[in-house]
Structure 1
């Protein structure tokens, strides 16, 4: 149990640190080159872990040719997410970025569950909408506070 908690905290920490590093890299060399180096670093790291792990590919390359086209969309969506995240991160607070990431993952999961399993979780939809409404309300309050400070 404690290992799961440590792994969850480490995952959240690396997520925030990765977003900050990607944002700084995008500011220095541009969003597209920054995203390219992000994926290149991930590819090299993944290849090294795979080479030194005891796992082996159980599928022949022929099996990959038979996969449906949508199976490859995840990589393209990842590029878009990293690019958008690199652009947005310096413009919003870390809290908003994390909540937006959470909301995006939650609704993406709901959509994937609906189209693959034909299941629509009412609790997840209601929870996601409530978190989204809380984010919008908090942003509104922050904007009103900023205006009050400017007028003082």
Structure 2
């Protein structure tokens, strides 16, 4: 029961992190600065936890020459995923910012499993898993199409809809990178003999990557000036991200990868629905319809079929 509660909590926390980081982006004036702040805070927290758990942050330098180069790029995929969420949130709302990357994660997950990419175990594509993928796709199409119908009722411009398609595609690609990161970090944890240290190095590499981007682009730091003060909670997105990684580390050995994915996905859906419905953390309200909830349930059923059968 405790494992299920932890899975739901870290799942709910992920869309909350996106909402928080989006608010941070408004305050700092740049998605790159927001990502850098979030990743830096998360890296510091994971460094402390790694020192407590493993008593060391280091590993043999020979691993750089012995292991494939892709082993070290998981953090780059992670920072791309985080920055994408920050950009997608104000465009698509919380629910679509969750479901589009989930679709990408499912697609890439099936590809990784089928071909055994990143030294993962091969799990060939079967008819039942294809059925699950179709259900996921139908759920995503249902949730998005309902939004499009609502937009037409409110006489939204067609050009805006076509622009949203680009953002949705970007979300799918970001989700695919996130799934690749998970597979890479899984192998990295085996190489380092520590899943916590693997999470720390993934965050550290992501932080260094976004730092280089910030140095090159030199975005102007501009804290927004308004009568309202910037909320204290806009700085805790990185902590939530680090706790999400640690929650996964705790959950997978207890309930297995398949069930942990399903539990976290349920948390993701609950968190995103609450944020959209009530406009939590200063986010824009996007009232949820019954038809959207049904579409999301269809999507969850598809994930259950893929991960558990």
TM category, shorter = 0.7 to 0.9
Matched, 1:119 2:123: yes
Aligned to 1:131: 136
Cα gap change, 1:124 to 1:36, in 2 (>3 Å) = farther
Q: Name the CA distance, whole Å, in 1 between partners of 2:41 and 2:57.
A: 21
**Contiguous gaps of at least 5 residues in structure 1:** none
Q: Does residue 85 in structure 1 map to residue 89 in structure 2?
A: no
Deviates more, 1:124-133 or 1:19-28: 124-133
The Cα offsets for residues 36-71 of structure 1, whole Å up to 9 and x where unpaired, read as: 112111110110101122565795232243210111
Deviations 1:98-142 (A, max 9, x none): 222322222222122123244333333432332222222332222
Map 1:37-56 → 2, pairs under 5 A: 37-54=37-54
2:147 is the counterpart of 1:148 = no
Match of 1:17 in 2: 16
Task: Tell me how far apart the structure 2 counterparts of residues 81 and 37 of structure 1 sit (CA, whole Å).
Answer: 15
Give the Cα–Cα distance (whole angstroms) in 2 for the partners of residues 93 and 47 of structure 1.
32
1:110 aligned to 2:114? no
Of structures 1 and 2, the one scoring higher in RCO (CA 8 A, sep 6+) is 2
Query: Which stretches of structure 1, 4 residues or longer, exceed 4 Å deviation after superposition?
Result: 54-59
Q: How many angstroms apart in 2 are the aligned matches of 1:28 and 1:120?
A: 46
Contact 2:25 2:33 in 1 (8 A): yes
Pairwise CA distance, 1:149: 4.4
**Matches of 1:79 and 1:57, distance apart in 2:** 21
Q: Is the 8 A contact 1:35 1:83 kept in 2?
A: yes
Q: Distance in 1 between matches of 2:22 and 2:133?
A: 26
TM-score of the superposition, structure 2-length normalised? Answer: 0.44
Mapped to 2, the partners of 1:21 and 1:130 lie a distance apart of 31
SS state of the match for residue 123, structure 2? coil
Aligned length: 150
**Residues 107 and 125 of structure 1 are in contact (CA less than 8 Å); yes or no, is this contact kept in structure 2?**
no
Tell me how far apart the structure 2 counterparts of residues 8 and 90 of structure 1 sit (CA, whole Å).
26
Provide TM-score, normalisation by structure 1: 0.83
CA contact (8 A) 2:110 2:125 kept: yes
